[in-house]
């Protein structure tokens, strides 16, 4: 898949390796294939960005990775290897051991992700009590509490020893997001899945939270998957990026390269949506149309209906092809469209 690798990933084996992932949701209208043949690698210590519109399958892909696809959805096909473990072969106990300890997740809205009826203390301590093997046998609870306070301090909650007994609603939005990050990172996971970590926050807080995630990633040496619809965030915080559209990856590569030289018409459309400081007067050109229904797709490029460069040879299943140094794209008309 990755014949050439960037410096970040050189000489290492992937921590997470996804091949041919297919996740489906039965609905009344038919079987929705929300994720359709996704291949991805996450390397130790890197930050991988996943970009796409709502419904592109970016969240469902990583819900599959952590085994929490919402009912009635299910993983239909493909393989997922994490740190030598076959994720698709895990039973309930196996998942429980892995989640929170090796793979952690934060959700888009901390207000709804934190339990309103339990104190912050309880919500952090329970993760530690479930996974931390190095807590002393006597006074486990006290040790868990001390470590929870330490985590809150690490993510920048002021006076954590006093605030730890508060309930989530007593914190501001940015603080709640930090608490959720503290919970996710409390057992020093190898992989953090950060699903839209800043969408619910205002801009100044966004930057603080993203910097916090970046700092902690370096400090703890973990890998981060940053799921977002904001290419600006990707450009600033990720090493590599995959662009998803209608359940597939349409373009993937090293962040700098992909932002500077986007190949897929969809990616170029997305980048066209970012106002450039050098050219503020240029009109922002939206991508016309909307994401297709994910039922019974196939036999055509999924972006066909919205693409300015569509042609008769786009009416077939398009494979991912190398488009440069560590850069792949799912488009047969790259050359024509770039002219």
Partner 1 sequence: MKPLALVGRIAQLVPVLLGVSVIVFVMMALTPGDPVEIMLADQQATPQQVQAMRHDMGLDRPALERFGVFLGNALTGNFGLSFFHRRPVAEVIAERLPATVELTLAALLLAIAISVPLGVVAAVKKNKLVDRLAALGSLFGISLPGFWFGIILIILFAVHLKLLPVSGRMEFACEVPAITTLVTIDSLLRGRPDCFANALSHLILPALTLALPMAAVLTRVQRAAMLEVLRSDYIVFAQAKGISRRRVLWRHALKNALVPTVTVAAIETGSLLGGNMVVETVFGWPGLGRLVVESIFVRNYPLVQAAVLFYAVTYVLLNFIADVLYTMLNPRVRL
**Mind giving me the DSSP string for 20-68?**
EEEEEEEETTEEEEEEEEEEEEE-TT-EEEEE--TTSSHHHHHHHHTT-
Distance CA 184, CA 313 (A): 46
Of the candidates 105, 234, 307, 331, which one interacts with partner 1 according to CB under 8 A? 105
- Burial of residue 194 (CB within 10 Å: 0-12, 13-18, 19+) is buried
Judged by CB under 8 A, the stretch of 81-89, 180-188, 227-235, 274-282 that binds partner 1 is 180-188
Report if residue 132 touches partner 1, rule: CB under 8 A: no
Q: Is residue 161 part of the contact set for partner 1 (CB under 8 A)? A: no
Q: Give the pair of three-digit tokens for residue 162.
A: 């006093």
- Pairs from 309-312 (Cβ < 8 Å, separation ≥ 24): 309/265, 309/333, 309/336, 309/337, 311/336
Q: How far is the CB of 139 from partner 1 (least distance, A)?
A: 20
Selected range binding partner 1 among 111-119, 139-147, 292-300, 311-319, rule: CB under 8 A: 111-119
188 binding partner 1? (CB under 8 A): no
For partner 1, the binding residue among 53, 77, 81, 97 (CB under 8 A) is 97
Is 101 near partner 1 (CB under 8 A)? yes
* 140 SS3 class: helix
First to last CA, the chain: 27
Q: Should residue 287 be labelled a site residue for partner 1 when binding is judged by CB under 8 A?
A: no
**Residue 170 DSSP symbol:** G
Q: Taking CB under 8 A as the rule, does residue 121 contact partner 1?
A: no
Orientation angle between helical segments 140-154 and 173-185, nearest 10 degrees: 130
Taking CB under 8 A as the binding criterion, the range among 108-116, 133-141, 209-217, 218-226 that sits at the site for partner 1 is: 108-116
Cβ distance to partner 1 smaller for residue 77 or 126: 126
Measured from the CB atom, is 6 or 108 closer to partner 1?
108
Among 1, 31, 68, 295, binds partner 1 (CB under 8 A): 68
- Choosing from 77, 95, 173, 188, the residue that interacts with partner 1 (CB under 8 A) is 95
């Amino acid at each position: 898949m990755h014949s050439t690798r960037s410096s970040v990933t050189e000489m290492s084996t992937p921590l997470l390796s996804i091949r041919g992932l297919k996740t489906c949701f039965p609905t009344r209208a038919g079987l929705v294939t929300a994720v359709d043949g996704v291949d991805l690698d996450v390397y130790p210590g890197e930050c991988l960005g996943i970009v796409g519109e709502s419904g592109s399958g970016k969240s469902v892909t990583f819900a599959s990775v952590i085994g929490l696809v919402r009912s009635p959805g299910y993983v239909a096909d493909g393989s997922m290897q994490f740190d030598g473990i076959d994720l698709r072969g895990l039973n309930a106990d196996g998942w429980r051991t892995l989640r929170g300890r090796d793979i952690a997740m934060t959700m888009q809205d901390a207000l709804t992700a934190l339990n309103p009826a339990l104190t912050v203390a309880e919500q952090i301590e329970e993760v530690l009590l479930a996974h931390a093997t190095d807590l002393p046998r006597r006074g486990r609870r006290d040790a868990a509490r001390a470590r929870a306070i330490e985590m809150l301090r690490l993510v920048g909650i002021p006076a954590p020893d006093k605030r730890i007994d508060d309930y989530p609603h007593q914190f501001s939005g940015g603080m709640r997001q930090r608490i959720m990050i503290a919970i996710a990172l409390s057992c020093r996971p190898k992989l953090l899945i950060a699903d839209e970590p800043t969408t619910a926050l205002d801009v100044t807080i966004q930057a603080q939270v993203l910097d916090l995630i970046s700092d902690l990633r370096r400090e703890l040496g973990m890998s981060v998957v940053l799921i977002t619809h904001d290419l600006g965030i990707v450009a600033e915080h990720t090493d590599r990026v995959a662009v998803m559209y209608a359940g597939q990856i349409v373009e993937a590569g090293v962040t700098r390269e992909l932002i500077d030289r986007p190949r897929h018409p969809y990616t170029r459309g997305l980048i066209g949506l970012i106002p450039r400081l050098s050219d503020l007067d240029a009109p922002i050109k939206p991508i016309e149309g909307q994401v297709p229904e994910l039922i019974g797709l196939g036999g055509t490029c999924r972006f066909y209906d919205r693409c300015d460069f569509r042609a008769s040879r786009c009416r077939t299943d398009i494979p991912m092809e190398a488009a440069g140094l560590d850069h792949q794209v799912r488009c047969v008309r790259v050359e024509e469209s770039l002219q």
